Amino acid sequence: MAKLQSVRGTYDLYGMAKKKAQKVISTASDVVEKYGFEEIETQIFEFTEVFSRNLGDTSDIVTKEMYTFQDRGGESLTLRPEGTAGVVRSFISEGMQQNLPVKLYYSGPMFRYERPQKGRQRQFTQFGVEMLGVETPQADIEVIAMAYEFLEKLGLNGTVTVEINSLGDKESRDSYREKLVAYLRENFDKLSEDSKNRLEKNPLRVLDSKEECDKEVVANAPLYADSLNEYSANFFASVLRGLDLLGIKYRVNNRLVRGLDYYSHTVFELVTDKLGAQGTVLAGGRYDGLVAQMGGADVAGIGWACGVERLSMLLEKELEQSRPIAVIEVGEDVKDCALQVAYNLRKAGFKVEHAYSGNLKKRMIKANKANAYKAVIIGSDELASGKVTLKDLDLGEQKLVELKKLIEEI
Ligand code: ATP
Ligand code: MG
């Protein structure tokens, strides 16, 4: 058996890290629910084709990163590497196309076989949104606004930049593709092996390469903006105008393309300079052809997903935690009473730490460690007259109160 440890590139989440991850998810849910998004939970595995056919067969995810296995019935299954393909699969197979628009959000684990680094794990958590059935720029503006508000609520608005670009419609993409291929052919020798391959199959992907040699070539590549047809250029202008109207700051990044095949028109990333090479905390775009490509109707879509762990790492401050009341018993004969007091306080809505063992002094130390703000000290003499001691741990003051009136007193 392998050594007793977690699989390389995977981490157990507990303590403050878990609390931060939870806060990222609950903040995101609160924001997107105001925009009318509803939660969906698809399963962690799907038939392999759901991903292999739709993410693009030259994408990094499909070529190198998927956890694929055969189950005992001989089906090829894949642990989901991202959320969109599964949500769209569900949108089609559950017949949600009847009632547009459909606005969904999800969160949960994703799996990619990548080289583990800070902010790059083999199992990580994404929170994502998908808006289906809205073709107008209003959808683009709304989902970006939602992302922006979410990061603002996390207190990250100063550290994160919105980068945005347009890939245009199919006609614009084809026209750009031609110019790009011509340019890349001229620079063929300077490209990485991967990019030489991509040149034939999917040249746009070269723009997204992380190899230094490719980046140098890409720096002088033709600009996407010059290839947008009128419709696409107007569409993009409307999106930007909407963002201006809402006071959302952004930077147009002509080099921004997304790693997957299904994007068109608007693509965007929220980027920080605080996580080194893993600076993208949230990414998304429009995917108007995807639903039809997967066998559904011709329904437009747009969405984003964020890396929950990457965002958690940006929450520097320790989160404030609610403070408990300590219940402290002194002596064997008050044990039953302490059990009841703790139970009743919790039922009344208080957070309670019941010190399980030790003398009074030890239990008081534990109460302070738990950051309790009050202690209920139960001793047999006082209890004989129906009273307990209520101590304010911040002020150090204490008084005897009637057990019956304890909750009122607190
Ligand atoms: P990168 O360029 O960093 O590889 P990506 O383009 O593969 O990112 P997406 O597929 O767009 O990432 O996923 C959306 C977000 O999910 C990313 O912006 C990032 O915050 C997070 N993410 C992606 N892969 C990982 C990973 N291996 N570990 C942790 N977070 C990740
Ligand atoms: Mg990646």
Q: What six digits make up the tokens of 217?
A: 């070539």
Task: Break the chain into its structural domains and give their ranges.
Answer: 15-169+229-312, 325-409
Average pLDDT of the segment spanning 42-64: 89
Mutate to test the pocket of ligand 1, among 8, 63, 124 (most ligand atoms within 8 A of CB): 124
**Distance from C-alpha of 171 to C-alpha of 230, rounded to nearest angstrom:** 10
324-377 pLDDT tens trace: 999 999 888 889 999 999 999 999 999 999 887 888 888 888 888 999 999 999
Q: What six digits make up the tokens of 44?
A: 């962690």
Query: Ligand 1: residues within 6 Å at CB?
Result: 82, 112, 114, 119-121, 124, 126, 259, 278, 280-283, 305-307, 309-310
| Nearest-CA residue for atom 23 of ligand 1 | 307
Superfamily of domain 15-169+229-312: Bira Bifunctional Protein; Domain 2 (3.30.930.10)
How far does residue 82's CA lie from ligand 1's centre (Å)? 9
What pTM does this model have?
0.88
The ligand 1 atom at the shortest distance from the C-alpha of residue 126 is: 16
How far does residue 307's CA lie from ligand 1's centre (Å)? 6
Counting residues of the chain whose pLDDT is more than 70, the rounded percentage is 99
Least confident of 230-234, 304-308, 394-398: 394-398
At the top level of CATH, the class of 325-409 is: alpha beta
Query: How far, CA to CA in Å, does 358 sit from each of 330, 361, 364?
Result: 9, 8, 9
How far does residue 336's CA lie from ligand 2's centre (Å)? 56
The ligand 1 atom at the shortest distance from the C-alpha of residue 210 is: 2
How far does residue 60's CA lie from ligand 2's centre (Å)? 7
Mutate to test the pocket of ligand 1, among 112, 126, 302 (most ligand atoms within 8 A of CB): 126
Q: Confidence class of residue 256 from pLDDT cuts 50, 70 and 90?
A: confident
> Concatenated DSSP letters for 279-327?
-EEEEEEE-TTHHHHTTS-S--EEEEEEEHHHHHHH--SPPP-PPPEEE
